[in-house]
Chains A and B, each alone.
Chain A
Amino acid sequence: MSRTEPYARTIPHPLFERMIINDAKTPDEAPWQPERQHEYGYFPGCVDFMDVEVKFSHLNKGDADHASIAAAAIKLMNAAGIDPLILDMNSFKCCGHDQLWQGQLEVFDELKAHNLRRMQESGIRTLVVTCAEGYRTFAVDYDLPGQGIQVEHITQTLRGRGLKFKSPEPVRVTFHDPCRLGRMMGEYDAPRELIQLVDGAEMVELENSREKALCCGVSSMMYCNDATKAVRKKRLDQGTDAEIQVMLGGCPKCYMHMQCLLNEERMDPGEHNHSFEMLDLMQFLSACLVEEAT
């Protein structure tokens, strides 16, 4: 494999990045008070931005719907008896994971200062995130547990809440471990336990799973080029080898990048051999949720 072109050095989503940076640079000092006290807070994260401003999936005629992840998470939490405070973009800013990992420490510090102040104002005890990157950022880089706010990935929150799931039809699924949730935060079991609860879903492990999981390749929105696409393709090929029908991810970013490549391949149907769908775990669980008559 030889390469004559130099590597691309631009970050592929200038609009998305510019918006977050502008957001960070705009001071927002106004005090904020939630209407009532909540035990749990739910942070949708940049799912708010995606698909609305970025038009991410329109590049390849895709149908990745990120807002449904947040909706599904709220539905599942309500079914589990949790009434979360939605910490959306009206009062909060992006958690700054991408900026930190791109090295833009100044931007990250401003986002962190703002979000930390808002966290204290919100008065929540436990922060729930659907995004593995957000989970790592709040737990480690913000050090929220050190300030009295527990941080949980939503799979940890929903685990052991007595939820019942039934798949509409028998389906063979797998779980793609996000690198932030698995290798960095050490949470492998919670999503698997949730998937085991689903009636009619057969869980298989990919060739590389748990701490050996392959990455989706575009962590922190750094690159989308041939090299990272090759990483993703390798991961999807493993799904084909395991003869799965749905690949589940624990992070909206994984969902986004995998789905993007799938859609891109489907524009030219002769090339690909990936006959399965990528879904976020929240979307899958919410579709399988058995509503109990109350």
Chain B
Amino acid sequence: MADDTGNLIGEYQQERQAEDAAERIGRRTEFTRETPRQAHSVLEASHVKGEPLYPHELVRDSVLTLYVTSILFFLAAFIPPPLHRAADPAAATAFPPPLPDWYLLWAFGCLKVAWDIEFTILGHHFFLMTAKVWGTLVQGMIIGMVVAVPFIDRALGYLIDPGPKEGMMDVLNSGHARRPIEDPVRAAIGVWGLAFVVMLSIYSINANIVLYYPAVTTAVLAGVTLWGPLACAGLTYLWLDRRRAEGARPQSDEERFDLYRNGITSRRTQRIYEFKLNRCYQCGLCDDICPVRTNEGEEELNIIFNTFQNEHDGVAMWSCITCGMCTAICPQNIEYVDYVLEQRAIALQGAAT
């Protein structure tokens, strides 16, 4: 047994040595071609080529596809879709009333809210458009407004302060606040829009609601649809404004400093911060604002990018000057410097001092 193990280890070592030698030879030829320089990002490192299509991606995608397919088979076999009663051609209306899919209910609500636009002036009767046309146009108008918001915003910003300044600080000094608490008006408008869409969806199933709750008539629903979103927006504004007046900080101290309360002695904290980093949706503001990265140039040193590539090659972790500008601009309040601190502590655990 022991001999076998020894042989195995010996073979393994020989293989490794051969691989090392081959790699070293390859590296030497590389070095003769261009001057050696330390790689600062995963894209530059010659020995990391990313994930190959075969077998890594192929196996992963196949497993996921088969998994989803098996779930579909299971559902189809054990939970067959219900077949309702046959439709009655003689009935006046279908019962229960047919409805579109849930994500189109708001459009259905628009059609229900719309009315025929007609009016009478001096005895002449004008018929402008039917409820169908009007309700369809309203849907387009709502989408159009959502699309137009950034353009209007930028146009207003340009009118107020034309001509952005040169240099890196544009990201910080231009544009408006990105966190809801810093701009309660825009946040309230957003809440109004969301609440209005939700209420339109609820309004669209008024026939079904009246069946089960006779007290909730169409008139009541219409009132709630009109005033409910406004009330939500008002409450949002009041709440955010009060929090701002109180000087609310982005995060509670408890959440922010739990790392230090308990000490950085276990790897459990790392999981917490990996989780926090996962809130990142990669808008790239931190990368634009990072002073080290700005001074070194994009292709030279890209601290935060490297972190998200899981590239802790030392340069990123030890070049950070922990100034906290990335946190100051981050829309998600991710405490990147805490992550750096913790990575440094883990890197030096047990090191001679």
Contacts and interface: CB of A to CB of B under 8 A. Distances in A.
**Bound pair (A, B):** yes
Interface of A: 1-4, 6-7, 9, 21, 25, 100-107, 109, 140-141, 143, 146, 179, 183-184, 186, 207-208, 211-212, 214-215, 217-220, 222-223, 227-228, 230-231, 234
Interface in B31-72: 35, 37-38
Interface string B294-308: 011100110000000
Contact of B315 (A7, A214, A220): A7
Given A4-B35, A21-B353, A103-B344, A143 B261 contact: yes
Given A107-B353, A140-B257, A227 B172 contact: no
A183 B324 CA distance: 7
A106 B350 CA distance: 8
Contacts of B257: 140, 143
Contact of A215 (B169, B265, B314, B325): B325
Contacts of B265: 105
Contacts of A21: 353
- Size bin of chain B's contact surface: 35 or more
Contacts of A109: 263
B291 A231 contact: yes
B260 A215 contact: no
Interface in B233-263: 247, 249, 257, 260-261, 263
B301 to A, nearest CB: 8
Contact of B323 (A7, A100, A215, A227): A215
Given A207-B169, A215-B291, A6 B321 contact: no
Interface of B: 35, 37-38, 169, 172-173, 247, 249, 257, 260-261, 263-265, 291-292, 295-297, 300-301, 314-315, 318-319, 321-325, 327-328, 337, 341, 343-349, 351, 353
Given A141-B260, A231-B291, A231-B321, A103 B38 contact: no
A149 to B, nearest CB: 16
Contacts of A208: 169, 172-173
A230 B294 CA distance: 10
B341 A186 contact: no
A187 to B, nearest CB: 11
Contacts of B324: 179, 183-184, 215
Contacts of B301: 227
A105 B328 contact: no
B292 A227 contact: yes
A104 B353 contact: yes
B321 A223 contact: yes
Contact of B345 (A25, A103, A220, A227): A103
B143 to A, nearest CB: 35
B134 to A, nearest CB: 48
Contact of A219 (B295, B323, B327): B323
A107 B352 CA distance: 10
B288 to A, nearest CB: 13
A227 B296 contact: yes
A169 B247 CA distance: 36
A6 B257 CA distance: 35
B31 to A, nearest CB: 13
A212 B321 contact: no
A92 B348 CA distance: 25
A7 B291 contact: no
A105 B349 contact: yes
9 contacts: A6-B38, A9-B314, A100-B345, A104-B353, A186-B249, A207-B173, A215-B325, A222-B318, A227-B292
A136 B128 CA distance: 68
A21 B314 CA distance: 22
A105 B264 contact: yes
B319 A223 contact: yes
A219 B261 contact: no
B323 A104 contact: no
Given A103-B348, A105-B349, A207-B169, A231 B249 contact: no
A138 B168 CA distance: 34
A215 B337 CA distance: 13
Given A212-B173, A215-B291, A1 B321 contact: no
- Specify which of B261, B301, B341, B351 lies most central, judged by the most chain A CB atoms within 10 Å of its CB: B341
A140 B315 CA distance: 27
- Specify which of A25, A146, A211 lies most central, judged by the most chain B CB atoms within 10 Å of its CB: A211
A219 to B, nearest CB: 5
- Specify which of A186, A212, A218 lies most central, judged by the most chain B CB atoms within 10 Å of its CB: A212
B321 A215 contact: yes
Contacts of B35: 4
A218 B301 CA distance: 17
A156 to B, nearest CB: 14
B322 A101 contact: yes
A140 B341 contact: no
A206 to B, nearest CB: 11
